[in-house]
Every structure is written in C-alpha cells, then in structure tokens.
Structure 1
Amino acid sequence: MVQKVLVFGDIGIDDTVGLIYSYFNDEIDVVGVVADYGNIAREKALANVHYIRDLYNVAEGVEVFGGAEIPMTGETPEFFPEIHGEYGLGPIIPPKVEDGEVIENFFGIIDLIEKHQDELIIVNIGRLTSLATMFILYQERMLNVKGFYIMGGAFWVPGNVTAVSEANFYGDPIAAQIVLKYAHNVTIIPLNVTSQAIATPRMVDYIDMADETKIIKTLLDYYYDFYKERNPNIQGSPLHDVLTLMAVINEDMLGYQTLPVQIVEKNGIVRGQSIADIRPYAVTEETEKKKLHRIAFELDYKKFYTNFMTVMTGQQFE
C-alpha cells in the first residue's frame, strides 16, 4: 500500500536526500512539501524544492507551500551554511524561483489534508513552526491527519546544538511543545537513532554509479566533510531526515517506547531539551489523559542499509 506523505522541512542536504529517497520509493507518495526556514532561509528552501522537483521530473502531483520565515519566539533565525552550504545544497546553486512560483499559499495546506482525509501522514523534518501554526488555526481539522512523524529531540544522548538539545526543537521550542501537546499518533525520531543512520563514503560512491541519483554524491560528500572535521572518528554522513521518512513505511526498522515528552522552552543550554518521563508510575490512568509519544530508541542498521541501498540504486541488497 502506497503511503501519502506531506513533508514539512527546511530543505538542506539531508532533507533533500530524504525527498529523493521518497521519489525513488514506490511505497511513498509525497503529495506536498512545506518549505520553511531552518537550515537556510525560507526563500532558499522554496528554490531547492522547485529545483529537486524539476531535476527528478516529479513536479506534477507534488504541491509546494511557503511555510514559516521566523520561529514563534520572534527571534531572527540562525542559518548553518557551514553544514548545508550557502543555498542548502552543499556547493550547488539552484536556479532562482520565478516570481509567480513564490506565492503565499500556506493556507492551501488544509485543502490538501482534507483531500487525503485519514490517509495522510505528516513528516516534519525541520523546525516545527509551520506545523504548530496549523494546530493553532485548525486544531479540529488536523484530526483528519493519520499520524505525525517528527525528526527531533535527543534523549540521554548529546544534542547537536547544545549539550542536550537537538536543532529542530532548539530552533523553535514553543512550536515543538505545541505540536507535542495537540498532535495525535505522534512518532518522534530523535538523534538517538538518526545519528546511527550513517551513509559511508563507500555506500555513496556505489549509489553514484546509478545515473538516476544525479546529485547524491555531491550533497553527501559535502555533508561528510563537515561531520568529519567536527568528529574525525565518524564513519559517514548521518541521514537524520532520510531515516524519518523511512520510518513511515518500515515499522520493523526501529524499536520504540511510548512515553510522555515535554520540551524546555526557556533559554540557555537546556533550551529545546526533550525530556521523556521514564518513571514506571508516570503512565497511569490519570496520566494517560495526557499526550503520550512514541519515541524511537533502537535502529536495526542492517535493515536501514538494505532498504536505503536498494531504493537508491534500484538493485536488490541483502
């Protein structure tokens, strides 16, 4: 069964590889992309979505929406060209989006949700500002979404912005808390597992032999250079956003626990920290009235490797 997916993302390198993986995978039908600020500014994220749609000839059937430009904290966003490149695609400079293609069509998202009632999964692989806005404006209508997969958080493992905080939750902790409070059927894919979802240089070189992959090596070589400089022991590029999209259709690839989660909203080193309540008495008849969240804590790397390589090369890997 093909799963229809609406992606919210800031369309940097791993977001882009995630979209390409989805386009190659017959089990995923990306019906729309909401381009947000995050790794890069919103206008660059929009340009990247249009570039990727055209490059892989999937423009028809994939709607593009302009998402948030700033977080709910009201701060000016900080971008990360050293990780994703000036335009979010490593050394690649995509064509500018034509004026007519950049429209303020955010509220069209609800039409897409209603079109695919009860069969649409939302995958959020960037800051959560746009998704939180949907819950503020359309809480009842968001019940029509089948479920939510969110790349974010770090539970008892190091963060990637502060010692305890992951970038998507840190970038807009207010939005992250709103989504976790109001969304139903939430699956969180945190750094605990995404940091293990490594694409080694050897894997990337093999994928590059498949002509259809086009820019994958350029993107992941650039990504790996950053991670290798920061951590000389790392074996490859962590595919945070790719794993989140993979999780939608690969239920047995990850091991989960269901726990209540809170996001720290105050500033400082703990800003954006994701805290799961693991006390054995935390989930009772009383607390079950609160939101519980399914969190991925274990990754079957062999299944990740097999699936990723099979999809990206068109060859069967065992």
Structure 2
Amino acid sequence: MRKKVLFFGDVGIDDTVALIYAFLKDKIDIVGIVADYGNAPRMETTRNVRYILQRMGRVDIKIFGGAERPMTGEVPTFYLEVHGPFGLGPIKPGLEPKELENFFEVISLIEKYKNELIIVNAGRLTSLATLFILYEGRMKNVQSYYIMGGSFLYPGNVTPVAEANFHGDPVAANIVMKYAKNVSIYPLNVTQTAIVTPEMVNYIHSKGKTQLLKPLLDYYYFQFYQKTVPGIQGSPVHDALPLIAIDREDIFTYYRSSVVIDTTDVARGQSIGDFRLIDAPESFDGRPQHRIAINLDYKEFYKEFMTVMTGEQF
C-alpha cells in the first residue's frame, strides 16, 4: 500500500528534489502540499509548487497556502543567494497568481486518512505549529511526522549552532517538538552528507525521468555550495531525506531524546537534545522523546536515490 503523505515545504531547490523523488517513488502518495515562506516568499513558493506539479504531470494534487511569516512576528529572511530570486535557481516559473486551497482544509485530509497520514515538514515549522495550537486533538490522528531541521552537536548553516528551518521560527519549532509525537528528525548531521554529485546528476538527466535536476543542482545549487563549503563534491539534498526515510529507515542510525529549541538571541534556533549516555532524564519538562537521525549510510542512500531517480536498479 502506498503511504499517504502531506508535505509542508518552503519550496526551493532541495524541496523540489524531494518532491521529484516522492513522485517517482512507487510507495509514496503525496496527497497535498502546504506551501510556506522560507527559501523565498510564499507567493513564489506556491508558484514553484504549481510549476513542479505541471512538469511532473500531477496537477491533481491540492496546494494549500501556508504561513507567510514566523510566529515571532518578524519579517522573514529569505536566502536568495542559495535558492535564487524565485526559489528555483535559474528557473523562473512565470505563472500568474492563483487562488489556493484554504489552509485549514488540511484538517479534512487528516480526517480522511485518519491514523494513516504521514506529515513531512521540510521547511519552517510555522504552519505545522499552528495546527497544534488550534487542533491539538485532531493532530493525534496523524500517524507520524518526518521533519528536516536542526543540528545536534553539529555546526549550523545560518549560525554556528543553528539550522535554517529551526532558526527561521524557533517558537514554532519548539511547539512542534513539545506537542508532536512519533516524530523523526533529520538534522544537518545527516542531510549535509546526502551529497548528489555532478556525475550522478548527469546520469539521472540522461535517463529522462526528470529534466529538472540538472539546472537546479549543477547550474545553481552546487555553485553556491562550492563557494561556502570548500572541497564539497556535490549538492546536499537536505529535504529529500525525510521522504527517503519513510520507506528506507534502515539507512539511518537514530538516537532518542526530547528536544528543546533555543529562542534567545545568540543561540536562537539551536536544537538541544540529551546525548549523555548515563544518568540522563527521560525527557525535558514532560516532552515526548523523538528519533534523531545522527548517521547516514551513504552507500545505501546513493543506491536508493539513483534507483528511484533513474528507474534502474543500483
């Protein structure tokens, strides 16, 4: 049976790679997409989703308009140097604005797929946190949550200690970490090592299942990472990992801990877990324990990613 997934994303380059993977993976059924601010303004991310769905022949999927700014009330920071002026590197979708599904209609999906729905959050957690604030009881009907975010005892990518999704709205991230259960987290510890090399991109491109990867990764994303991470051999596809994990949890090593997100100035967005091996409390202030991916089997990641993206067995 295909697993029902509601995807939350600030759809930029690596979100797009994640969605392409999901559309090509026969065991995943994307039943809805929530488009949030993050890599670009929400107006651009919703256009990006529509563009991707058109290119992949999946215009049947509903797009929900998510958050436009964080719960902190701040004007969000957009990382255009990473994802380009429209969020898709060199690609300009060129679509006119279109009315979106009411965000709160996602509740109907949660009810329709009761105890079956998986939520994957690959961007800021503002929209997901809003559902816990307004519909905590109904959120218990979600089977599980797969979240890309954080960095645990590992360097951040927007500050020395913070990853972009948790840093962009630490209040929302804290709410989700406190109230969500059955959560698996995919932090920079593993996503930074999920490298797709130019050779991989060229081979995928030659097989023709998608023509989007090469302009997104080789012509833009990889160039950014070469400037910021000297010696890197390719593009880290951060947001693909929680979707890959839905069917391939075996390629990760996990650790269990409650999680707190710092909301103060210097340490804003820092993800805190208890990694002591002895005398560690079971939780922080009654929070549930979450699974934190701390290691990626790159060989198995490579085989899974290439198999799905090319249609060949690796």
Superposition deviation, residue 157 in structure 1: 1.1
Q: Which amino acid aligns with 1:237?
A: S
**1:84-110 CA distance string (max 9 Å, x none):** 011111100002244xx3236111010
Q: Which amino acid aligns with 2:153?
A: W
Superposition deviation, residue 289 in structure 1: 4.7
Which shows bigger deviation, 224-233 or 138-147? 224-233
Counterparts of residues 86-235 of structure 1 (less than 5 Å): 86-98=85-97, 101-103=98-100, 105-221=102-218, 222-235=220-233
Secondary structure at 1:138's aligned position in 2? helix
Determine the C-alpha separation between the residues in 2 that align with 1:298 and 1:288. 27
Q: Which amino acid aligns with 2:82?
A: I
Structure 1 unaligned residues grouped into runs of 5+: none
Aligned residues: 312
**TM score, norm. by length of structure 1:** 0.96
Q: Which amino acid aligns with 2:148?
A: M
Determine the C-alpha separation between the residues in 2 that align with 1:249 and 1:63. 23
Superposition deviation, residue 123 in structure 1: 0.4
**TM score, norm. by length of structure 2:** 0.97
Are 1:74 and 2:80 matched, yes or no?
A: no
Determine the C-alpha separation between the residues in 1 that align with 2:38 and 2:233. 26
Superposition deviation, residue 156 in structure 1: 1.1
Q: Which amino acid aligns with 1:261?
A: V
Q: Which amino acid aligns with 1:44?
A: E
Indicate the residue corresponding to 2:250 in structure 1.
Answer: 252
Secondary structure at 2:307's aligned position in 1? helix
**1:122-161 CA distance string (max 9 Å, x none):** 0000000000000001000000100101100001111000
**1:9-44 CA distance string (max 9 Å, x none):** 000000001001100000110101000000000010
Superposition deviation, residue 81 in structure 1: 1.1
Superposition deviation, residue 281 in structure 1: 2.2
Determine the C-alpha separation between the residues in 2 that align with 1:104 and 1:19. 19
Asked if structure 2 preserves the Cα contact closer than 8 Å seen for 1:50 and 1:97, the reply is no
Indicate the residue corresponding to 1:8 in structure 2.
Answer: 8
Structure 2 unaligned residues grouped into runs of 5+: none
- C-alpha RMSD over aligned residues: 1.3
Return structure 1 stretches of 4+ with deviation > 6 angstroms.
none
Counterparts of residues 285-304 of structure 1 (less than 5 Å): 289-304=286-301
Superposition deviation, residue 198 in structure 1: 0.3
Indicate the residue corresponding to 1:33 in structure 2.
Answer: 33
Q: Which amino acid aligns with 1:248?
A: I
